[in-house]
Amino acid sequence: MSQPGVREAESAPDDFDPVTLEILWSRLISIADESAAALLRTSFSTIVRESNDFGTVLMDAKGDSLSENTGGIPSFSGILPRTLKHFLAKFPIETWKPGDCVITNDPWLATGHLPDITVAMPIFHKGVLVGFSGSIAHSPDIGGSLWSADCRELFEEGLRIPPIKFLKEGEPNADVLEMILGNVRLPEQVLGDLNAQVTANQVCGRRLIEFLEDTELADLTGLSRTLQQRAETAMRRAIEEVPDGVYRAALDADGFDEDETHIECAVTVAGTNLSIDYAGTSKQIDRGLNTVMNYTYAYSAYPIKCALDPQTPRNEGSYRPVTVTAPEGCILNPRYPAPCNARQLTGHLLAGVLYKALADAIPGRVIADSGSAPSMRAVFSGGDGHGNRFSQILFASGGVGAAAHKDGLSTTAFPTNSGAGSIEAFESIAPLIVWKKEFRTDSGGAGEYRGGLGQECEIENRSDEPLQLSLLSDRWRHPASGVLGGKPGATSEISFSDGTIPHQKSRTTIPPGMRLRMRFAGGGGYGDPRARDPEMLRGDLENGYVSAEAAERDYKS
Amino acid sequence: MKQRIRIGVDVGGTFTDFVVVDEARDLIYTGKRLTSADDPSVAITEGVERLLGEADIAAKTVHSIVHGTTLVTNTIIERTGAKVGLIASDGFRDSLEMGKETRYDLYDLFLEAPPTLVPRNLRRTVAERIGPDGAVLMPFDADGFRTAARGLVEEDKVDALAVCFMHAYRNPEHERQAKKILVEEFGAVPATISSEVAPEIREYERTSTACANAYVQPRMLNYLARLESKLAEMGVSGTLYVMLSGGGITTVRSAQAFPIRLIESGPAAGAMAASYYSGLTGESNLISFDMGGTTAKMCLIDGGQPDRKHDFEAGRVRRFQKGSGLPLKVSVVDMIEIGAGGGSIAQVDGMGLLKVGPRSAGSNPGPVCYGLGGVEPAVTDADLYLGYLNPDYFLGGEMRLDMATVERAIAEKLAEPLGLSTLEAAVGIHDIVNENMAAATRMHLAEKGRDPRRYGMIAFGGAGPVHAYRLAQLLKLKRLIVPLGAGVTSALGFLVAAPAIDYVRSYVSRLEQVEWNHLNTLFAEMEQEATALLVEAGARPEEITLTRTADMRHVGQGFEIPVPVPNGALEASSLSALRDGFFAAYRTLFERTVEEVPIEAMSWRLAAAAPVPNIKLHFGGQPIGSGAARKGSRQVYFSETGFAPCDVYDRYALKPGDTLSGPAVIEERESTTVVGPGASATVDRYLNLLIDLPD
């Protein structure tokens, strides 16, 4: 008797038994994870490394996703198959040859801003194209305006690479390469990272071929259909548990100057389908806050998956029951060539508004709005005083919103998963000293369950020359709101040590000796503060998470 | 070398294992006692006394006792350590609690952060600041420090103190002043300073290490002192050594100063044993595979040495979830641990798929077949059903396994809901647990840039030899080694380890900008300290090996890779050796190099070791090679053949030079070796089974 599963698989390719399917699915996820490991370790980009701002996906011959890496930004993996479909429209499937590699960073076709480069390669087995390996990573540089929110048009933000062959049958497309490297600040590192992506894709391809040899499957067709069906069924079952209805919510954010961002959402649950519509949302603006539809979709589908079906591994099927629409020309579905470099400042807000909408329907499965969304960043660049140029981003997070049975996490990234690097390492490569990086007392929104605390950072320019500073922040005027009686978290604040206040989304300089103070927002609270367990409040006071005055003001009256 | 009597003691969660080697009589004795959880020294002294009696050895002739303990790791997992106060630099009170600011599970909105070892009300700060180049940016406020320490000791009544200042790895002067104050004015309270326990860049990890050290220190100080005095009372005059997480052994004095370095003391022994067998069999590249009741541990042995790394995560909220624990900067054997053991439970998940582990039935109630009340089928149950285990010879016959109940449980809990036959479900459990282990091993190899085809496998632990054959097949390995005595293999590791110690100093610099004098001073300090410690541990200075490495990366990257550094004085002309070393290491890992981007070093390391003791392997008191090797035959399942008759052998009756061919099962008291169809096995002169897998 041979292995029961495989034998059955060969005779009926779309009907795998539960043992075989478990083994095959786990292996496909490992393939995406091995590919991610290769990318992560060889990448130069701080953002890839510290923010996990990358993804690797294994796709079938139709370009649908089969498995995604476990640790990367979830939204990316949902986008890659869509980008690949654009590649296939331009380069028909029968024209792909082994060793070909197509890349793009077009925001509309891919992940919504120029620094993210998408790389896809075909996988051939016994002369037949059986699938595609794909990866997305944030490039160390893409020319243009560095990471900033204030450009007026896409063209200011950097180099746009339309879908183009980076490798032809394994050979570099020298003209394209020269063109790209001639337009970026750190050509060696940009090339290094492109090669890292190619390596990651090759690892994915090699592992898939081994997989097909081990399992004696001729191709992925039947398996792909089964796995996508399973994931789709799991997602549909989870949606079905939500009472049918239309759930609405709105949210405001600082936007750019007088152009505040207003987001309206209507979540319609009908049986096993969930659709999200953003009609009523602000129009697109001529600043880099626009999020293209792909990004809007990704940052809508991700929080839905977290709340409804956190356990099932993801593939194309997970996303089928969830549709997202937004009027063309709005900030969540802008027309080319709207600037979109700082699209996270809008996209990260979607989790909060969706949870706000769903709070009445599924109060136990959502969290209040998070101070860590959108992420607040300060990008420093200039000379390090030893003749080396540097560009360093201060990664730090505000507080996450509270849940129905749990305080929000303090200083934790959400919905992104950007880690805070070490301050000692930060200071070692930049002429900056961080004098403070501590919790912000009273910044968590009061509630029966308290929002997570934000933090306060103070950074000094120790160089003898001015440094460039780009700020990407929001929530100065609009805090993370609480749900079901919970109070909002603290707003964010940024100031210089001389008392001046910089523009929240500006590029400016920071003179020698000047300090920048950044206060990160807190998460919203959940439920009536007066219902908070006195024991937990006592702990908050003892540890200084909440001050005596705030306890009196917010929890007693 | 002088012939000695040496004892190895492995204090585990359930059992304390003993091994005695008497080199003069060329004998090995083994023993086992229940661990005395409240005070492990009780079981140790009783066990040693009894074993010496059995082996007819006088206590005063014992040369040394080497000891591994789970006390440190358990103290952290169970959160039963000391009340610790932390004093940090002004502005950094919360580094310990803020951690990396990431979520270890991307989809769990309600995940628990690992509880911090020092709550915020016991964390103080003091005015002082060192810059990244070691320059003093703000002087140390000694009075402020005194006040903070006094508050923690007198008002908060802490049992231990930790100090971590910014960039203290680069310039420890402020921490040294702080320590002086603590020793002089608060001497009764043990104190840990970060620049001594982990002089490495990255404040969160260093603070975490200092606090964890302080957290376990009061308990370990007592425990080791008590053990030493009890052994002395028994008349044991030999030296007491403790195994470090990196596989070296060290003195009690050094273990008391840095008990956190014992965090992986027990598991390290298994890797050291594997590396010993690597030398014995001449298989220099091995995957060490140790599978017990709850977990499987895999470690690579390269060139006869276990891989090491310099960070470890302890006390995870979710045991097998990376990122859910406390980071520690300690040298450990680089081992992966996954939730795959004999007790791992099989169940049907929400999608109707079969899952195995990480939940474990443990030893109580244990798998269904133990008959102790377990109702959920586990890996051991499938192993029994498929014929790999003998229901009448489990633990040498001490425990009778119940086949009928197992069959019913697999049928009801798994086969029916999955729509499979009982056999298919049992095969499924076996295949899935093996596939889980294979996937984890492949991932580990991939992360280290290694090719599985270069490796053989060595298997031990109760369930290791049962699953090794199939695991080796999945990884496409050609050679499998199963040593005799799967249950004592790990404890043997204590006797084959040498006094060894690792040191580190962080000094961040681009290679072409290194100040060579400064670097030479760092290495000189480390070499001096290492030599002094190893001499104290009984080594002669001339026999100590010193190995230097540095953690390097391209400027801009976030991961460092270990690069060999030449011994002796370093100077500008050493640059090319360092660069070449970096590129060679980089190419091995990533199959390419990026020569144009400058290289920077973060930390510089020294590994110092005395020679490995040379022990022989003859198991005392065990009749070897007597009686009939072939016990009989039973039906055993293999994927190639289905259920088929299979030869059953008595491991203790096999003699050097004996050969057999698969399919076969070879039974010994604490494990069973499974050999698949088409494989051949021989017994070498050390009684190891050497199994060659068919192509």
The Cα–Cα gap between A312 and A370 comes to 25
Distance from CA of B202 to the nearest CA of A (A): 5
Count CA within 13 A, CB hemisphere, residue A142.
25
Share of chain B above pLDDT 90, in %: 64
Contacts of B103 in chain A (CB under 8 A): 409, 412-414, 417
pLDDT band of residue A197 (cuts 50, 70, 90) is very high
- As a whole number, mean pLDDT of residues B240-248 equals 92
Is the pLDDT at A445 greater than 50, yes or no?
yes
- As a whole number, mean pLDDT of residues B342-348 equals 93
Helices (H), B18-126: 40-55, 71-77, 95-98
* Percentage helix, strand, coil for chain B under 3-state DSSP, each rounded to 5: 35, 30, 35
Looking at residue B571, what is its pLDDT?
94
Question: Who among B98, B129, B442 is closest to A411 (CB)?
Answer: B98
Looking at residue B28, what is its pLDDT?
78
Q: What count of other Cβ atoms lies within 10 Å of the Cβ of residue B661? A: 14
Share of chain A above pLDDT 90, in %: 79
**Residue B193 DSSP SS3:** strand
Count CA within 13 A, CB hemisphere, residue B612.
18
Nearest partner of A251 among A220, A289, A221, A282, judged by Cα: A282
Q: Please indicate whether, in this complex, the C-beta atoms of A423 and B166 are within 8 angstroms of each other.
A: yes
Is the pLDDT at A142 greater than 80, yes or no?
yes
Question: Who among B351, B420, B446 is closest to A17 (CB)?
Answer: B420
Helices (H), B234-291: 252-257, 265-281
Question: Who among B91, B110, B202 is closest to A425 (CB)?
Answer: B202
Upstream peptide bond of B132 is cis (omega within 30 degrees of 0) = no
Upstream peptide bond of A488 is cis (omega within 30 degrees of 0) = no
The Cα–Cα gap between A442 and A447 comes to 12
Looking at residue A9, what is its pLDDT?
34
Q: Which residue of B has its CA nearest to A312?
A: B351
**Residue A445 DSSP SS3:** coil
Looking at residue A2, what is its pLDDT?
35
Do A517 and A499 touch, CB atoms closer than 8 A? no
Is the pLDDT at A43 greater than 90, yes or no?
no
pLDDT in tens, B28-86: 787 777 777 778 888 899 989 988 888 888 888 898 899 888 889 989 988 999 999 99
Question: Who among A19, A425, A542 is closest to B431 (CB)?
Answer: A19
Do B335 and B311 touch, CB atoms closer than 8 A? no
pLDDT, mean over chain B = 90
Interface probe for B, chosen from A365, A424, A461 (most Cβ of B below 10 Å), is A424
Is the pLDDT at A7 greater than 70, yes or no?
no
Q: What is the helix (H) or strand (E) element at residue A121, kind and residue range?
A: strand A116-125
Q: Please indicate whether, in this complex, the C-beta atoms of B103 and A26 are within 8 angstroms of each other.
A: no
8-state DSSP, A400:
P
User: A382-391, B425-434, B587-596: which has the highest mean pLDDT?
Assistant: B425-434
The Cα–Cα gap between B401 and B384 comes to 8
Contacts of A40 in chain B (CB under 8 A): 559
Strand partners, A128: A125
Looking at residue B440, what is its pLDDT?
93
Q: What is the distance, to the nearest Å, from the Cα of residue A163 to the centroid of all Cα atoms in its chain?
A: 22
**Residue B172 DSSP SS3:** coil
Do B678 and B664 touch, CB atoms closer than 8 A? no
Q: Please indicate whether, in this complex, the C-beta atoms of A49 and B558 are within 8 angstroms of each other.
A: yes
Angle at the Cα of B526 from the Cα atoms of B522 and B529, rounded to 5 degrees: 140
Instruction: Write out the two tokens for B242.
Output: 């403790």
Instruction: Write out the two tokens for B278.
Output: 């690597």
Between A123 and B236, name the one with better pLDDT. A123
DSSP A60-115: ETTS-EEEE-SSS-HHHHHHHHHHHHHHHHHS-GGG--TT-EEEE--TTTTTSSTT
- As a whole number, mean pLDDT of residues A169-186 equals 93
**C-alpha radius of gyration, chain A, whole number:** 24
8-state DSSP, A552:
I
- As a whole number, mean pLDDT of residues B532-537 equals 86
Q: Cα–Cα distances in Å, from B203 out to A413, B100, B209, B329, B506?
A: 19, 11, 10, 11, 12
Strand partners, B338: B296
Place of tokens 């490798």: A167
Contacts of A192 in chain B (CB under 8 A): 554, 594, 597
Is the pLDDT at B362 greater than 80, yes or no?
no
Is the pLDDT at A352 greater than 80, yes or no?
yes
- Phi then psi dihedrals of residue A244, to 5 deg: -60, 150
Q: What is the ipTM of this complex?
A: 0.93
Distance from CA of B80 to the nearest CA of A (A): 20
Q: Please indicate whether, in this complex, the C-beta atoms of B431 and A455 are within 8 angstroms of each other.
A: no
Share of chain B above pLDDT 70, in %: 97
8-state DSSP, A498:
T
Q: What is the helix (H) or strand (E) element at residue B8, kind and residue range?
A: strand B5-11
Nearest partner of A59 among A217, A193, A201, judged by Cα: A201
Query: B113-136: string of b/e by CB count within 10 Å (b at 16+)?
Result: bbebbbbbebbbbbebbbbbeeee
Question: Who among A3, A19, A410 is closest to B432 (CB)?
Answer: A19
Looking at residue B593, what is its pLDDT?
76
Contacts of A410 in chain B (CB under 8 A): 97-98
Q: Which residue of A has its CA nearest to B352?
A: A18
**Residue A230 DSSP SS3:** helix
Contacts of A429 in chain B (CB under 8 A): 508, 555
Helices (H), B26-134: 40-55, 71-77, 95-98
Question: Who among B352, B431, B594 is closest to A192 (CB)?
Answer: B594
Angle at the Cα of B333 from the Cα atoms of B331 and B335, rounded to 5 degrees: 130
Instruction: Write out the two tokens for B113.
Output: 């952060």
pLDDT band of residue A1 (cuts 50, 70, 90) is very low
Contacts of A440 in chain B (CB under 8 A): none
Q: Please indicate whether, in this complex, the C-beta atoms of A26 and B93 are within 8 angstroms of each other.
A: no
Q: What is the distance, to the nearest Å, from the Cα of residue B86 to the centroid of all Cα atoms in its chain?
A: 28
pLDDT, mean over chain A = 92
Q: Which residue of B has its CA nearest to A393?
A: B556
Is the pLDDT at B282 greater than 90, yes or no?
yes
Looking at residue B619, what is its pLDDT?
54
A to B CB pairs, distance under 8 Å: 226
pLDDT band of residue A3 (cuts 50, 70, 90) is very low
Do A340 and A154 touch, CB atoms closer than 8 A? yes
pLDDT band of residue A73 (cuts 50, 70, 90) is low
Q: Please indicate whether, in this complex, the C-beta atoms of A437 and B129 are within 8 angstroms of each other.
A: no
Looking at residue A5, what is its pLDDT?
35
Place of tokens 């106060």: B85
Do A214 and B442 touch, CB atoms closer than 8 A? no
Q: Please indicate whether, in this complex, the C-beta atoms of B442 and A30 are within 8 angstroms of each other.
A: yes
Distance from CA of B343 to the nearest CA of A (A): 19
Question: Who among A3, A22, A40 is closest to B639 (CB)?
Answer: A3
8-state DSSP, B512:
G
Looking at residue B617, what is its pLDDT?
62
Q: Please indicate whether, in this complex, the C-beta atoms of A438 and B352 are within 8 angstroms of each other.
A: no
The Cα–Cα gap between A216 and B113 comes to 43
pLDDT in tens, A303-345: 999 999 998 888 889 989 999 999 999 999 999 999 999 999 9
Looking at residue A6, what is its pLDDT?
35
Between B203 and B293, name the one with better pLDDT. B203
pLDDT band of residue A13 (cuts 50, 70, 90) is very low
Contacts of B202 in chain A (CB under 8 A): 422, 424-425
pLDDT in tens, B366-397: 899 989 889 999 999 999 999 999 998 887 78
Greatest Cα-to-Cα distance within chain B, rounded to the nearest angstrom: 80
Looking at residue B32, what is its pLDDT?
76
Question: Who among B98, B109, B167 is closest to A306 (CB)?
Answer: B109
8-state DSSP, A252:
E
Q: Please indicate whether, in this complex, the C-beta atoms of A19 and B420 are within 8 angstroms of each other.
A: yes
Q: Which residue of A has its CA nearest to B587?
A: A42
Upstream peptide bond of B199 is cis (omega within 30 degrees of 0) = no
Does pTM surpass 0.90?
Answer: yes
Place of tokens 């031990």: B460
Is the pLDDT at A74 greater than 70, yes or no?
no
Q: Please indicate whether, in this complex, the C-beta atoms of B427 and A4 are within 8 angstroms of each other.
A: yes
Nearest partner of A296 among A330, A271, A269, A268, judged by Cα: A330
The Cα–Cα gap between B530 and B310 comes to 17
- As a whole number, mean pLDDT of residues A545-552 equals 97
Instruction: Write out the two tokens for B408.
Output: 């019913």
8-state DSSP, A337:
T
Strand partners, B501: B608
**Residue B247 DSSP SS3:** coil
Q: Please indicate whether, in this complex, the C-beta atoms of A455 and B94 are within 8 angstroms of each other.
A: yes
Question: Who among B91, B202, B555 is closest to A438 (CB)?
Answer: B91
Looking at residue A12, what is its pLDDT?
39
Do A142 and A159 touch, CB atoms closer than 8 A? yes
Looking at residue B1, what is its pLDDT?
43
Contacts of B352 in chain A (CB under 8 A): 18, 230
Instruction: Write out the two tokens for A390.
Output: 């540097």
